[in-house]
């Protein structure tokens, strides 16, 4: 069996990647290395966690000794690295936590991978990154693989730093790597601090929908299962030392997206048309809020034959249905410390 370590496999995107790999590649042993922070939840993997080719390891990637022990134990041929602190608002409150996990954590993984392999033939370190490293677009243009890095939030700066470390290990030590920079994901199992699941949860509970600033910010949305399919393709067929942008060809201003979401929610909950929109509440803007993200994903489309498999309306429908059917999951993940975080978040709005 080929050993593949997937870090952050209990999180949102990671759990979809682990599921795809466990089901599709019985000849791989998938080692899910996750520290189970507030964002990591083994419930996300209940359907595959008894599979013979799946193993869970509780590891903090910031702890170099623990990472070394993990790599000594499994001698992985491949690493797919998703573990991170991922929420921009949290990075504004606690930037150093992002520096530690996203930069130091990534460097620890690179070091261990380099240490256990004297021969890199057939090995691959795949780093999952974000389009936020490119900064903000104006009204025109798209992020390309050649766009200069220009991160604005502590989160995006930490992801940019980690991308640079991966490249530097490739250049300096010949470590085989590939990097992808993806746009905003949505779908099942996303922690309800991010826009779409937060608003679904608030609409169900008839709580205010906190729109930052005037809501006139643009994001490019991609259904998470399509991101996992892209990760599978890049891991197996991507060229060494290359970057691929991944996006949904699907730009929405926050306000327009929220209106579509509200309409679908009214229909699904059997509420009067317009009742969810009445929950929209304008709150203080996010500091350093990037105006617009949009990805040019033609490289991965052209070279690897990837494209999204669902439309936004379909993906959003699947997502809403999942949250409505999994209220217990929502309740579990939003109990405890999340309540305090959420209260503090809007204390000064």
Known catalytic residue: 145?
no
In the complex with ligand NAD, the residue whose CB is nearer, 84 or 330, is: 84
Catalytic residue among 132, 232, 251, 290: 132
Known catalytic residue: 132?
yes
Catalytic residue among 155, 177, 217, 293: 155
Residues whose CB is less than 8 angstroms from the CB of residue 119 and which lie 6 or more positions away in sequence, other chains included: none
DSSP-assigned states of every residue in 291-333: -B--B--HHHHHHH----SS-HHHHHHHHHHHHHHTHHHHHHH
Type and span of the H or E element at 173: helix 154-173
Residues whose CB is less than 8 angstroms from the CB of residue 21 and which lie 6 or more positions away in sequence, other chains included: 4, 6, 28, 30, 80, 232
Catalytic residue among 34, 60, 85, 131: 131
Question: Both tokens of residue 254?
Answer: 């926050």
User: CB under 5 to 8 A by kind: which of ligand NAD, ligand DAU, none does 113 bind?
Assistant: none
Task: State the Cα–Cα distance between residues 277 and 257, nearest whole angstrom.
Answer: 11
Residue selected from 6, 18, 45, 61 as contacting ligand NAD according to rule CB under 6 A = 61
In the complex with ligand NAD, the residue whose CB is nearer, 246 or 279, is: 246
Query: Minimal distance in Å, beta carbon 57 to ligand NAD?
Result: 10
Q: Chain centroid to CA 282: how far?
A: 26
Half-sphere exposure of 105 (CA within 13 A, CB side): 24
- 21 interacts with ligand NAD by CB under 6 A: no
3-state secondary structure of 6: strand
- 22 interacts with ligand NAD by CB under 6 A: no
- 39 interacts with ligand NAD by CB under 6 A: yes
User: CB under 5 to 8 A by kind: which of ligand DAU, ligand NAD, none does 195 bind?
Assistant: ligand DAU
Closest Cα partner for 181 from 149, 153, 154?
A: 149
# residues near ligand NAD by CB under 6 A: 31
Known catalytic residue: 47?
no
Please, are residues 132 and 84 in contact by the beta-carbon 8 Å criterion? no
User: CB under 5 to 8 A by kind: which of ligand NAD, ligand DAU, none does 62 bind?
Assistant: ligand NAD
Helices and strands (H, E) in the chain, number of each type: 13, 12
User: CB under 5 to 8 A by kind: which of ligand DAU, ligand NAD, none does 14 bind?
Assistant: ligand NAD
Residues numbered 119-138 forming contacts with ligand NAD, rule: CB under 6 A: 128, 130
Query: Minimal distance in Å, beta carbon 206 to ligand NAD?
Result: 26
- 34 interacts with ligand NAD by CB under 6 A: yes
Residue nearest ligand DAU, CB atom distance:
130
Query: Minimal distance in Å, beta carbon 338 to ligand NAD?
Result: 13
């Amino acid at each position: 069996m080929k050993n593949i370590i997937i870090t952050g496999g209990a999180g949102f995107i990671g759990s979809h990647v682990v599921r795809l790999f466990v089901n599709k590649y019985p000849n791989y042993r998938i080692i899910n290395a996750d520290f189970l922070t507030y964002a990591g939840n083994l419930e996300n993997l209940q359907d595959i966690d008894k599979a013979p080719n799946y193993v869970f390891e509780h590891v903090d990637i910031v702890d170099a000794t623990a990472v070394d022990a993990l790599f000594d134990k499994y001698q992985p041929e491949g690493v797919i690295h998703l573990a991170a602190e991922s929420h921009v608002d949290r990075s504004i409150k606690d930037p150093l936590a992002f520096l530690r996990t996203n930069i130091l954590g990534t460097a620890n993984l690179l070091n261990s991978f380099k240490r256990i392999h004297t021969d890199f033939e057939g090995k691959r370190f795949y780093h999952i990154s974000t389009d936020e490293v490119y900064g903000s677009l104006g009204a025109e243009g798209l992020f390309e693989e050649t766009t200069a890095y220009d991160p604005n939030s502590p989160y995006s700066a930490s992801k940019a730093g980690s991308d640079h470390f991966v490249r530097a290990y490739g250049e300096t030590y010949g470590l085989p790597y590939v990097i992808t920079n993806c746009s905003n994901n949505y779908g099942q199992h996303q922690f309800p601090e991010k826009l779409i699941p937060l608003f679904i949860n608030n609409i169900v509970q008839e709580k205010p929908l906190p729109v930052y600033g005037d809501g006139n910010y643009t994001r490019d949305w991609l259904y998470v299962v399509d991101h996992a399919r892209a990760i599978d393709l890049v891991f197996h067929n991507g060229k060494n030392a290359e970057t691929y942008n991944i996006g949904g060809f699907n730009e929405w201003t926050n306000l327009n997206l929220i209106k579509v979401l509200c309409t679908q929610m009214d229909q699904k909950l059997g509420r009067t048309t317009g009742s969810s929109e009445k929950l929209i509440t304008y709150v203080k803007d996010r500091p350093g809020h990037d105006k617009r993200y949009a990805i040019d994903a033609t490289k991965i489309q052209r070279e690897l034959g990837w494209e999204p498999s669902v439309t936004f309306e379909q993906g959003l429908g699947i997502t809403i249905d999942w949250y409505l059917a999994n209220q217990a999951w929502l309740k579990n993940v939003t109990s405890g410390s999340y309540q305090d975080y959420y209260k503090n978040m809007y204390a000064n709005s």
